[in-house]
Amino acid sequence: MTWLTSWRFWLGGGVSLFCLWLAFRQVPLGQLTQLITHVHPLLLLAAVGVLLLSIAARAQRWVVLLNQRERLLDSFWAQGIGYLFTNILPLRMGEPARVLVMSERCQLPLLQVAASAIVERLLDAAANVFILVLVLPWMQVPPFMSRVGVSFGLAVLVGMGMLLLVARFNHRSERLVQALCARFPLLRGTKLLVRWRELIHGFLPLLQGRVALQATGWSLVAWACSVAMFWCVLRAFQDNARVEEAAFMMVALSFAIAVPSSPGFIGVFQLIGQQALVFPFGAKYNAANALAITLTVHLTYYIVTTTLGVIGLWRMGESFVHLGQVIAGRKADRKTQVGEAVQ
**Residue 259 predicted with pLDDT over 90:** no
Arithmetic mean of pLDDT, 64-91 = 93
Query: How much of the chain, in percent, has pLDDT values that exceed 90?
Result: 54
> Is a pLDDT exceeding 90 seen at residue 141?
no
325's torsion region: left (phi>0), alpha (psi -120 to 50) or beta? alpha
Asked whether residue 153 carries a pLDDT value surpassing 50, the answer given is yes
Average pLDDT over residues 16-33: 92
Residue 22 has pLDDT above 80, yes or no: yes
Candidates 205, 201, 225, 223; CA nearest to 213 is 205
State residue 84's pLDDT score.
Answer: 95
Amino acid 215 reads A
Cα 189 to Cα 158, 184, 336: the distances in Å are 33, 11, 18
Residue with the bigger pLDDT between 235 and 145: it is 235
Does pLDDT of 189 surpass 80? Answer: no
Whether residue 336 is predicted with pLDDT greater than 50 in this model: the reply is no
Q: pLDDT grade, residue 56 (50/70/90)? A: very high
User: What whole-number distance in Å separates Cα of residue 270 and Cα of residue 246?
Assistant: 15
Task: Report residue 340's pLDDT band, with 50, 70 and 90 as the boundaries.
Answer: very low
Categorize the per-residue pLDDT at 179 as very low, low, confident or very high, splitting at 50, 70 and 90.
confident
Question: Are 116 and 66 in contact, with CB atoms under 8 Å apart?
Answer: yes
- What is the reported pLDDT for 240? 92
Tell me which amino acid residue 221 is: V
Contacts 24+ apart (CB under 8 A), 326-334: 326/100, 327/85, 327/93, 327/96, 327/97, 327/100, 328/2, 328/3, 330/2, 334/104
Does 138 have pLDDT greater than 90?
A: no
pLDDT of residue 144: 63
| Model pLDDT, residue 341 | 37
The arithmetic mean of pLDDT across residues 49-61, rounded, is 98
Report the alpha-carbon angle 196-212-231, nearest 5. 115
Alpha-carbon distance of 335 to 109, in angstroms, equals 10
> Does residue 12 or residue 142 have the better pLDDT?
12
Res 64 pLDDT > 60: yes
Mean pLDDT of the region 218-229: 97
- pLDDT of 200 > 90? The answer is no
According to the model, what pLDDT value does residue 151 have?
Answer: 76
Rounded mean pLDDT, 195-205: 81
Average confidence (pLDDT) over 276-293: 92
At 204 the pLDDT is: 82
Mean pLDDT of the chain: 85
Rounded distance between C-alpha atoms, residue 32 and residue 12, angstroms: 26
In this prediction, residue 321 carries a pLDDT of: 87
Confidence at 338, pLDDT banded by 50, 70, 90: very low
Higher pLDDT, 72 or 279: 72
Q: What is the mean pLDDT of residues 112-139?
A: 88
C-alpha distances out from residue 269 to 18, 295, 297, Å: 12, 8, 10
Given pLDDT bands bounded at 50, 70 and 90, which one contains residue 5?
A: low
All residues at 6 or more sequence positions from 229 whose CB lies less than 8 Å from its CB, including other chains: 47, 50, 51, 54, 297, 300, 301
Q: Rounded mean pLDDT of 203-225?
A: 91
pTM: 0.86
Q: Which residues contact 291 (CB under 8 A, 6 or more apart)?
A: 23, 24, 27, 32, 270, 273, 274
Output the pLDDT for position 337: 42
Q: How far apart are CA 220 and CA 240, in angstroms?
A: 25
